[in-house]
Amino acid sequence: MESLGLNTVKSFLKKNVNLHLKDGTVIINVQLAGIRKDSFGKGNFIECIPYGNRKTVSIPLKSIAWAELLNLNLIQTID
C-alpha cells in the first residue's frame, strides 16, 4: 500500500480532514497544521491539531494511507 504524498498534504494544510492510517485506524476531524522533518532529515511528520484542542500531534507521513477532506458546512453543532 502506498502512503500519502507530500504534495497532497501541502494542498490540505489548514483544512480539516479525516486521516486514514495504514493499520486501519481513522483519526477524525483534525486540522493539518504543518509538515516537519525528522531530526535526521530522512522522514517527514505531519503536525495535526485535533478538534477542540490546542496541542499538536505528530504523525509520520509514511503511516498515513490517505486523507479525506471534510465539509464543515455539513457538521452541525448542538448548543
Q: What is the pLDDT of residues 5-60, one digit of tens each?
A: 888 899 999 999 999 999 999 999 999 999 998 888 788 999 999 988 889 999 99
pTM, 2 dp: 0.81
Residue 75 covered by a domain? no
Choose between 73 and 4: higher pLDDT. Answer: 4
Above 60 in pLDDT, residue 79?
no
Average pLDDT over residues 48-75: 87
Residue 36 covered by a domain? yes
Q: For residue 13, give the CATH number of its domain.
A: 2.30.30.100
The CB-side HSE value for 7 (13 A sphere, CA atoms) comes to 0
| Alpha-carbon gap, residue 59 to 45, rounded angstroms | 5
Cell 448542538 locates to 78
Residue 74 covered by a domain? no
